[in-house]
Structure 1
Amino acid sequence: MTTTFVGSRLAVSLSGALLVLAGLAGCATPAPPPPAQAELPFDQAIAQATDSLLMQTQKQAPLIARMSAKRGVVLDPMIDAGSAQQTVATQLLQERVSERMGARHDTIELLPFQSANLAKARYLLTGTMTRLSVEQARSPLRIDLALTELATGMVVAQSSVVARDDGLDHTPLPYYRDTPVPLKDQVVDSYVRTTATPAGQRADTYYLERVAVAPAIKDATTHYNAERYQDALAQYNSAAGGTAGNAQLRVLNGIYLSSAKLGRTAEAEQAFGKIVAYGIAQQQLGVKFLFNPGSTAFWPDAKVSGPYPMWLREIARASADAKVCMDVVGHTSRTGSVAFNDTLSVQRARYIRQRLIVEASVLGERTKPSGKGFRENIIGSGTDDAVDALDRRVEFRIVDCG
């Protein structure tokens, strides 16, 4: 149930039935075995994970190498593995890891995450934060760190710890707060798999093949978060110039967001159309809508809901053109009773379905609504704000038309 301004956001997501059963068509991150470590205070967990990571690299390096020049490390921004978002908490994680590396290990030199440094750094550092249970408020977090040798693509060190959620702030950073679409695609899944890969094994190839464009995406997102939208758009367009960039939802989404912020309506609509086309091609699309609390009416502020007619038009057009059949499945956050949320999730699924039928009548024969309440939460915080926006979504699951 939703009870606050931002608490009534829900996402529309397109995913094939085979994806649901088989785990994103083979691209979902497999759950690692439960960690044996005890829960540690957040800062202590970070210190232990960072020290373990670097001890592994020191043991592997010959003595002469340990006594010589520093080994360069570049850091691809850390993320929440469940939501694929950068949050205040993941930003704190990477800041603390960086500080620990710089202060305690004089053989390591942290280099800015830039294309030029990818060519000269020895290691690539990745990190994720994963909530162990979405059914328990403030459940423990698993922190995974990995160092990948750029020359060989081998993970040379990996560490995992379990940390207490000591009042951490999981609010998404502005780009992730504003995004109309959940951003967990194959690149993100591959990043997560790499970070959980045991030392001595190769990092995920899909991620390594696309890491060259990651610095441009990072710079573009930094500009966006600082409200430098013109610079952000230029960087996202630059990232989209290559095949690797074009294949990433983060880039397409960044072009849409930056264009919309700059008031470039036609460019924004074209960019959103590409997001929808990408989602249908990948059989995984999500679009977040903000509803009035406890209702099926969109939030009336035009600054918020103004783009919704265009979003619905693009989704309906692309779905009709693709001739797909879909189950429209509603979801809610954990606030409120089971019965209320079950009913609300169905009602919102029906509303979204009806709006799509208005845009493309053929979808009346190709869609049916249902609801899951909060039984399939992604975040599970029940805070009804920007933190758990992904829990309030409607999925379009492709089914057999026969």
Structure 2
Amino acid sequence: MNKSFLRASCALFAALCIVQLAACKSAPKATAAPQSFNDAVRTAASALITQVKRQEGITGRAVGMAGLGGKTILMLDPVVDANTAEVNQSSLAVERILAEEATRISEGQWSVLPLSLETYDSARYVISGAILYTVNPEQAADKHKMYKLALAAVERKSGKVVASSEAWIADRKIDVTPTASYSDSPMYLKDKRVAGQIETAQMAPGNQADPEYFNSLPTASLITEADKAYEAGQLEQALGMYKTASLRPDGQIMKTYAGLYQTNRRLGKLNEAEIAFGQLVNIGYQNNNISTKLIFGVASTDFVNDNELRAQYSIWLRQIAKLFARSEGCLIIAGHSSKTGSANFNDQLSLQRATTVQRIMQKDFPQIQRRSRAVGRGWTENIVGTGTDDLQDAIDRRVEFRLTDCAKL
């Protein structure tokens, strides 16, 4: 055979291999054109599952190999709202549609199952998802933020992202009602693990999943099961699982201690609940993220007129005050408000709310006037910014506590 022909053939084969590998590394994203929520989710889910199916073919693995009932298992980590770090009703809708698309595209050979210890070892892939609220660069004429769903499939054994997709959502509002375990949380629970999940959900194929997120998946499976028990009213069972998670090194996350606080409180174990909240504050302190769900009356500096919530607020502020009283640093207490009314009004209102909180904490933090500063951010640091004054922008009306250098007060 002619040597030149052989060289040309080898070069062509190599080029084809490079093209094939490049295609695997940069799988096509879902359409950037905004769609209704259900259509957008189905578009992203279909694109992701199709890529996973192609991946199975490229690597030569049989679709029905190893798994419960002979099926390939795709284990779904609860889809998280990137703004609030919560799992909400839209998250559950994404999970339902993903399961439907996996069944349809695999012709019943795959199963999408919830994250759990029972299915973890038999799962071939973990699906990581996040709902973001951001600017769509393809919509140049529309400067408003839009919802976007990002999905990634991670090979469980290697931690490698093998497929990814995204879809823009045209709906201005989606159902952001948190599930019970998040609705009852005293804080927004965005820590390093959640940040890693959000990052992983947006990764292109070929990347390694965020290690802090990926390595914590077995413990996250336990916490997810505890959340489900909590939501089902099986409080003692939930408490046992949250306690087990707290004994694991990678269980030292905000979600674990929020779960312990909520469950102990509902069981009437108020002392244990306060201890758990103190541990939650410590982890928030380490992440420099103590973002409490203190709810004020509309256009008011008084807490909402709910005796149970006010009793909880006393616990929260007492533990936060005690933590900072023990620390050596100083504290910024930042009040925030949603984007309704004038900027000047909201600047003043958010400052007055922060000052109210500062005054309440003085009993347990006698040096608070010297070692803290109350500031009003108004709407300048809105995360959502819709100005709807409902669940959608509730995080914009938060009070944050952040450690700072005393020289900067």
Equivalent position of 1:121 in the other structure:
123
**Aligned partners of 1:242 and 1:172: how far apart in 2?**
26
Q: TM-score, normalised by structure 2?
A: 0.84
Amino acid of the structure 2 residue aligned with 1:45: A
Alignment of 1:130 onto 2:126: no
Query: How many angstroms does 1:158 deviate by?
Result: 0.6
Larger radius of gyration: 2
Query: How many angstroms does 1:198 deviate by?
Result: 0.7
Equivalent position of 1:82 in the other structure:
83
Query: How many angstroms does 1:45 deviate by?
Result: 1.8
Bigger relative contact order, structure 1 or 2, given CA contacts below 8 A and separation 6+? Answer: 1
Paired residues for 1:271-290 under 5 Å:
271-290=276-295
Equivalent position of 1:5 in the other structure:
none
Paired residues for 1:133-282 under 5 Å:
133=135, 139-165=145-171, 167-245=173-251, 247-282=252-287
Q: 1:318 aligns with which of 307, 319, 323?
A: 323
Equivalent position of 1:376 in the other structure:
381
**Aligned partners of 2:341 and 2:286: how far apart in 1?**
36
Query: How many angstroms does 1:167 deviate by?
Result: 4.9
Q: What percent of counterpart residues are identical?
A: 32
Residue pair 1:145, 1:160 contacting (<8 A) in 2 also: yes
Q: 2:369 aligns with which of 346, 364, 373?
A: 364
Secondary structure of the corresponding residue to residue 293 of structure 2? strand
After superposing the two structures, state which structure 1 stretch, 190-199 or 105-114, moved more.
105-114
Instruction: Note the alpha carbon deviations across 1:7-31, whole angstroms, 9 max, x for none.
Output: xxxxxxxxxxxxxxxxxxxxxxxxx
Equivalent position of 2:42 in the other structure:
47
**Aligned partners of 2:184 and 2:316: how far apart in 1?**
14
Amino acid of the structure 2 residue aligned with 1:346: L
Unaligned runs of 5+ in 2: 1-28, 66-70, 137-141
RMSD over aligned CA atoms reads: 2.3
Residue pair 2:384, 2:393 contacting (<8 A) in 1 also: yes
Amino acid of the structure 1 residue aligned with 2:115: F
After superposing the two structures, state which structure 1 stretch, 91-100 or 64-73, moved more.
64-73
Query: How many angstroms does 1:166 deviate by?
Result: 6.5
Query: How many angstroms does 1:221 deviate by?
Result: 1.1
Amino acid of the structure 1 residue aligned with 2:111: E
Residue pair 2:173, 2:392 contacting (<8 A) in 1 also: no
C-alpha change, 1:46 and 1:298, in structure 2 (3 Å) is: closer
**Aligned partners of 2:189 and 2:86: how far apart in 1?**
7
**Aligned partners of 1:183 and 1:284: how far apart in 2?**
8
Secondary structure of the corresponding residue to residue 292 of structure 1? coil
Equivalent position of 1:37 in the other structure:
32
**Aligned partners of 2:180 and 2:144: how far apart in 1?**
23
Query: How many angstroms does 1:371 deviate by?
Result: 0.9
Amino acid of the structure 2 residue aligned with 1:364: Q
Residue pair 2:50, 2:105 contacting (<8 A) in 1 also: no
Amino acid of the structure 2 residue aligned with 1:100: E
Equivalent position of 2:18 in the other structure:
none
**Aligned partners of 1:258 and 1:138: how far apart in 2?**
39
